[in-house]
Amino acid sequence: MVPSPYAGDSPPAGTLHVLPLRGIPEVATGSDLAQLIQSACAATGLALEPGDLVVVSSKVLSKAAGLWADSRTDAVERSTGRVVAERATFDGVTRVVESVAGPVMAAGGVDASNTGGSERVLMLPSDPDAVAASLLDDLLRVTGLAAGSLGVVVTDTAGRPWRAGQTDFALGAAGVVVLDDLRGGVDADGRPLAVTARAVADEVAAAADLVKGKASAVPVAIVRGLPALLLPVRSGSPTPSSPTERPGAGSLVRTGPGDWFHLGHLEAVRAALGVSPGSSDSAAVGIRPLHPEALADRIARVVRLALAGPVGSTSIEVAGGLITVRAAEDFDLGVVVTRLVVAGWTEDLELTTAARQAGLVRLIVTDLAPTPVD
C-alpha cells in the first residue's frame, strides 16, 4: 500500500502533489483504459478523489484505439494537415507539420518509441479532446464519482521554437480549464495585465511528466491539489466534457491571424517564389538538407527554385561560382535575376552582379554559410 501523501482529506491550500500511477500493463487494442487505471489505483493503494486531474500519455490512448501504421512515411502523410518546414536528412525528409491532431509537431506526432516491442509506429488520435472526454466519462463510470469531480489531460511530447529539448504539453483535455486568462486584471503591483494568459493545461502536463518520464513505463499520473481547475457541470449538461460546453486543449493551438509562424523562414521565401513545402514542386526543386552540402548542389537548387515561376524566355548557365542569365526581354531578365537573388538567400548564398550588358547578367556567388565546427 502507498501511504497517503498528506494526513487530511485534501492537500493544504497551495500544495500540489503529482503521483505516478504504476502497475498499468501493456495496453492493447480495445483495452478499457479507465478500468486499467482504476485497477492500478487499487493495486497501489491509491484512489481517485474529487478534485483530481488524471494526466495520461497519448500513446496509451493510441494503443487502445489501435492507431497503428506499418509505414512511418505513410503514417506521417496521414497525420499531416499542412507542412510548416522540411529538411532533407540522410534517411529521407523530416517535416514539421500542423498535425491532423491539431498541434504543430515534428512528423505529425508519429512515434516509434515505447511501442511494446512492435516494429510498427503509432499515430495520434485525430480528435484528442474527444478522446479525453470519452476517457473522463469512463473514469466517472468506473469510480462512481460525480460529474465535475475529475478532469483529464492527455499529453504528448514536442520541441519548442527557440528552446532546446522537449517537454510534455496538453494534447487533449476534458473537464478542466486549459487557459487561465488574466487579461483585464492586475499584477501584484497593481499594474494592468494586458497579455498574460497562463496555459495551465500545458503546465499540468509538464508537471506530470516529471513523474511519468519516457523510460519508466508510467503512462498515467494523478495531479492533486488543483480543484479550482475543474470545470463545473452546467445545468442540463451530463458532464463538463461535452465538446459544445467548454473548449479543450485544441483551443490552445494558435491558428489564423494569430499564427505568426505559419511557415518556416526558408519555406516562407520558397512559397513566395511559388514552391510550397510538402508539395511535388518542393521535391522537384530539392529540399535543403540538415547536413553540409557541396556548393554546386546548393547553387543548382537555387537555379531550380528561381525557374519554378513565370520567368519568360530565359536561360541560365552555371560555371563554378558564376551564374550567367540571358533573356531576350529586359523585363524577363530582371525577373529571373531577382528570383535568383531571393532564392540564393534560402541557401545562405549571396548573389551580386559581376557583369551586365544587353540581354545578359552575370552573378557571382558568395557563400555566407558558417563553417561547420568539428
**In order of start, what are the domains of the chain with their CATH numbers?**
17-67+125-258 (3.30.1330.100), 293-367 (3.40.109.30)
The predicted structure's pLDDT at residue 172: 97
| Confidence grade of residue 3 (pLDDT, cut at 50, 70, 90) | very low
> Phi/psi of residue 352, each to 5°?
-125, 155
Q: What's the pLDDT tens digit per position in 143-192?
A: 999 999 999 999 999 988 889 999 999 999 999 999 987 667 766 767 77
Cα–Cα dist 354/369, whole Å: 21
Q: What's the pLDDT tens digit per position in 86-134?
A: 999 998 999 999 999 999 998 898 877 766 666 789 999 999 999 999 9
Q: What's the pLDDT tens digit per position in 337-371?
A: 999 999 999 999 999 999 999 999 999 999 998 76
